[in-house]
Amino acid sequence: MTPLAPPATIAFIGLGMMGRPMATRLVAAGFKLRVFDVSQKAVSDFVGAHPSALATASAKAAAQGADALITMLPDGKIVRQAVLEGRDPAVDGLAPGAIVMDMSSSNPVDTQKLARDLAARGLALLDAPVSGGVKRAVDGSLSIMVGGGAADLERARPVFGAMGKTITLCGPAGAGHALKALNNYLSAAGLVAMCEALVVGEAFGLDPGTMVDVFNTSTGKSNATEVKGRQQVVSRAFAAGFATSLMAKDLRTAGDVAKFLKLKMPGLEQAVAYWNDADVKLGKGSDHTEIFRYAEMLAEKEG
């Protein structure tokens, strides 16, 4: 089938911290956007900044006349409501042959069911979660993990290419969401390890900035030390743009996958419990890099 190249029409649902810069990249690439968000302010702000985009009042309205639909929403349950089961769902506006791209971080088992339900209506689903955070969403260098059919990916590649630098077909439906959850488990574990190392090191009298510099020239180097060490944790800026609640949710998803497969993963189970408790203790709206503050709280309890 013909690739979805500009000026193809894309319905974009979800204009949050990640969705807005991703949608902006699509506009800049020449795609025609029909946008919807439950926050009408988010819609009006986006259209105000990008007059070529069309504001719509529902998922169904956004989907009408679109060649593809992108969802960038908090979780798979909300995606299913927006696409298939809620009031004025997108599926009622999409024409057969359209591609649905769920770029949210969703549960892969639920994604497999959604793919089957959409296939029964003549619609293809690509689960395509992203990694890289707001900064890489802004510059269009996201890593995109895709689950679904290879032919559908090739058709959608120009769309993904406007938002990401690395586009990887991970397997059939659900594979992208599974890999994203597991990637975030590794990311979260590395961040906790760095934060605990910094807490111990500072208590010993080491300079935290020096510690991060040494980590980054040694075997302890990781995304956390390179991207979040000095920038977010040592500076105490705590403004990476990804919420603690979302990291905790992604870890629960990874844990659910392991349970679904009847696999005992003690480290993963401990990480889920750690981040769930941190989410409660740090409070609503906390940035995930504030896990450092949670590590400090736990250290104080040992005193």
Q: Which residues are catalytic?
A: 180
Distance (Å) of CA 31 to CA 20, 22, 53, 139, 213: 14, 12, 9, 17, 42
Q: What are phi and psi of 128, to 5 degrees?
A: -145, 65
Torsion, Cα of 123, 92, 33, 242 (10° steps): -80
Tokens of 80: 């299913």
Dmax (CA) for the chain in angstroms is 65
